[in-house]
Amino acid sequence: MPELRVDDPVPGADVFARMAPYVVIACDGERAIGYAFWQRYGANVHVVQLVVDPAARGCGAGRALLEEIRARALAAGCTRWFLYVMRDNLPALRLYGRTGFERALEAWALRIGWPQIDGLAGDGDAVAYTPDPSEEIAIAKRFSLVPELLAAIRARPHITFVALREAAALAGFAALDPTFPRVRPFRVIRTGLARALFEALRPHVDLARPLHVIVEEDRPLVDALLAAGAAVSHELYQLAAPLTVS
Ligand SMILES: CC(C)(COP(=O)(O)OP(=O)(O)OC[C@H]1O[C@@H](n2cnc3c(N)ncnc32)[C@H](O)[C@@H]1OP(=O)(O)O)[C@@H](O)C(=O)NCCC(=O)NCCS
């Protein structure tokens, strides 16, 4: 986690056991010098983690790990792969560029406390509710999400889904992991509805801890959260590419 520069708690052995079938390891002789972890969502592959031992960087291990994932994903019939990278991570950006990835969207990891959320202006009279799994296709379509990804997030322990409805129309959606606590995705059809979506999350979290919120392709929402006092943890790109033989 420190090598990836993320605040996530270091996963326990149970989490590593769940990851294991989708982990590839680069070796120099008997010595492990890097690993990558990927996940499959329908025809989409998410390269979630990629780390090479600092002492072994620049020797092709990162490239080899990506190529192994490519081969496995192609064999599984996948057609697209994507990942998130910090905008200042030049070695990773260079490696991904060489591998064929292109910028798909902008994302921000923000931290915001409940006192700041209390200062957010809200508008409209959206109603919050717990979406039924049968609605996930519609949610995915409305907010440009991969439906299989939503199903996978729902299947994880502790996850809470909340949605907003305005009149009869879907107006917001968030998936909360209260243990971190992190919200990803967090989507609203307009900035003024963010307050209502946070309010829907409020009963599910420890109000003393700041929320980590991942915002994608929504600069006005980022600006509103920053104006309310949120802090940027990371600026990210989502990179993506069709999966083809290299
Ligand atoms: C990003 C990372 C996985 C790259 O691993 P790596 O084994 O060094 O990568 P490779 O040796 O396969 O290098 C691939 C390309 O990147 C280049 N590269 C590697 N390290 C570099 C550096 N420090 N600066 C600039 N370019 C670099 C290589 O020259 C190579 O380019 P080439 O194709 O022109 O030869 C590694 O730097 C790392 O573990 N970083 C910390 C964790 C991290 O940031 N992970 C990615 C999160 S999105």
Which CATH number characterizes residue 221's domain? 3.40.630.30
Question: Which residue type occupies 232?
Answer: V
Is 5 part of a structural domain of the chain?
A: no
Residue 155 phi, psi dihedral angles, 5° rounding: -75, -10
Same domain, 87 and 143: no
- Say how many C-beta atoms besides its own lie within 10 A of residue 139's C-beta: 21
Is 85's C-beta closer than 6 angstroms to any atom of ligand 1?
yes
Is 172 part of a structural domain of the chain?
A: yes
Domain count along the chain: 2
Is 174 part of a structural domain of the chain?
A: yes
Is 8 part of a structural domain of the chain?
A: no
Q: How far is the CA of 4 from the centre of ligand 1 (A)?
A: 13
Residue 92 burial class via C-beta count within 10 angstroms: exposed 0-12, middle 13-18, buried 19 and up: middle
Residue 243 C-alpha from the chain's centroid:
20
Tally the residues of the chain: 246
Is 7 part of a structural domain of the chain?
A: no
Is 6 part of a structural domain of the chain?
A: no
What global pTM score does this model have? 0.92
Same domain, 93 and 127: no
For residue 187, the model assigns a pLDDT of: 98
For residue 15, the model assigns a pLDDT of: 85
- Site to substitute for ligand 1 among 52, 236, 239, most atoms within 8 A of C-beta: 52
Is 139 part of a structural domain of the chain?
A: yes
Same domain, 88 and 174: no
* Domain span including residue 215: 114-229
Same domain, 121 and 143: yes
For residue 2, the model assigns a pLDDT of: 84
Residue 124 C-alpha from the chain's centroid:
28
Same domain, 125 and 80: no
Is 94's C-beta closer than 6 angstroms to any atom of ligand 1?
yes
In angstroms, the Cα distances linking 141 to 106, 133, 164, 173, 184 are 19, 14, 15, 12, 16
For residue 38, the model assigns a pLDDT of: 97
Nearest to 101 by CA among 241, 221, 5: 241
Is 155 part of a structural domain of the chain?
A: yes
- Site to substitute for ligand 1 among 94, 99, 239, 246, most atoms within 8 A of C-beta: 94
Same domain, 135 and 40: no
For residue 238, the model assigns a pLDDT of: 97
Output the DSSP codes for 53-92. -GGGTTSSHHHHHHHHHHHHHHHTT--EEEEEEETT-HHH
Give the pair of three-digit tokens for residue 167.
């009149």
Same domain, 93 and 129: no
Same domain, 204 and 142: yes
Q: How far is the CA of 55 from the centre of ligand 1 (A)?
A: 12
Same domain, 200 and 217: yes
Same domain, 41 and 91: yes
Q: How far is the CA of 91 from the centre of ligand 1 (A)?
A: 4
Q: How far is the CA of 9 from the centre of ligand 1 (A)?
A: 24
Q: How far is the CA of 170 from the centre of ligand 1 (A)?
A: 42
For residue 3, the model assigns a pLDDT of: 87
Same domain, 65 and 85: yes
In angstroms, the Cα distances linking 123 to 14, 132, 134, 194 are 43, 25, 28, 9
Regions of the chain with pLDDT less than 70: none
Is 61's C-beta closer than 6 angstroms to any atom of ligand 1?
yes
